Amino acid sequence: MPSPLRRVPARLLHARGKTTSAQHVAARHLDHAFERLAAAHLPLVAASPLVDALRASPAEPLALPDLARRLPLRLHRRGPLHFLRLFPRVFSLRPPLPLSLSLTPAAAGLLAVASSPADAARTLHRLLAMSASRALPLRAVFRVWRELALPDDFEDSVVAGHPHLFRLAPNPTEPNTHVLHLVADPAAEDFTPAVDKTRPDRYAFKLQYPPGFRLTKEYRKKVKEWQQLPYTGPYEVVCPRAGKSKRVSKLARRKMEKRAVGIAHEFLSLTVEKMVEVEKFSQFRKWFGIEVNVRDVFLDHPGIFYLSAKGKRHTVFLRESYDRGKLVEPNEVSEARAKLVELMLLRRRGLGNANSSANMASGATADAKESGVDFVEHEDCLLDVSET
């Protein structure tokens, strides 16, 4: 029997009562096109720390024991070498022992594709303009540099290269960290939110529900009311609430929620693949002045967002940017990312069967012992790589 949340979707626009966040995630209406897309990205997401380390040292291969000591990798229950040998089109293992690792030329070329400093500066400018203080912690920006298609050296090529736009300053609340400030004149800014390009009506958002989603009469009525509700846009100044009371009216909370939807929509529009991990977006919550739970915002509006829980991580997609699992408006960077995902999905197909799965598993165990790389099994499909 379907869960109550699926049978009565109208409650998605109301207070959730005693439904926990985990129950709300489990009860969401699945969209298999997005689920397949999220699953296809999992190997690349798992290998991201390793890929970043290899890109930081492109001139020479890195020894596996050194990588194991430096990185908290979680790759595969059969061992790190088994994982690496699954993707010979991306990772190149080189003898003698201890084995060394590098990116293949094809993978390195695809990973090098990024926005130009000028385009990256415009993206960063819009991101900072959404902050009420026109500032963001640099560590939070670093967490999404890949999603925003920023260059590897964006701190130098983008931030330092545009002193009329950006300024770095020490974070007074966190020692040894920095805050990125926007110093551009607000009066000279005229940013139009991406949602304005697709609005059916003023204040309304384009809605695309997943296949099989039940639109009851009550739900349609609530959606219509919500679509007509005025709200403060992502680049508009928000007036602070009077007093410090946590109690707000139902109308005020609905407006706060709709503003959060607008900010999330704009943030996803700035990303190259129109998707981001919820945990990464949550780091901006305070700085964007969002006063509601962001995960609930994504779940409560299934016509605008889709939240996937693949790989024990929550990833949110902007629905209107996709058609049958593919970006409606791809660009050079997104196409390079898609080709990289395809390289990982190919695994060893088409390269012969010289290394069967059994040989790979036994070889990985032997090489790991001789290379000084160890691993610990977990109940899931990932593992920690650490020093022996």
Report the C-alpha gap between 103 and 106 in whole angstroms: 8
Mean pLDDT of 257-276: 98
Find tokens 């049978």 and name the residue: 7
If DSSP codes are grouped into helix, strand and coil, which group holds residue 164?
coil
| Reported confidence tier of residue 124, pLDDT bands at 50, 70, 90 | very high
Q: How does the average pLDDT of the chain come out, rounded? A: 85
Kind plus residue range of the DSSP H or E element containing 181: strand 178-182
Token pair of 256, please?
Answer: 């706060």
- Predicted confidence at residue 388, as pLDDT, reads 26
Predicted confidence (pLDDT) per residue in 25-61, tens digit: 888 999 999 999 999 999 999 889 889 989 988 777 8
Say if residues 315 and 307 touch (Cβ distance below 8 Å): yes
Domain ranges of the chain: 21-112+338-351, 132-185, 192-235+248-329
The rounded radius of gyration (Å) of the Cα atoms in the chain is 23
Bridge partners of residue 189, in order along the sequence: none
If DSSP codes are grouped into helix, strand and coil, which group holds residue 318?
strand
Global pTM value: 0.86
Say if residues 153 and 310 touch (Cβ distance below 8 Å): no
Specify the higher pLDDT residue, 387 or 34. 34
Token pair of 316, please?
Answer: 């949110």
Q: Residue 280 pLDDT > 60, yes or no?
A: yes
- Predicted confidence at residue 46, as pLDDT, reads 87
The Cβ of residue 205 has, within 10 Å, a number of other Cβ atoms equal to 23
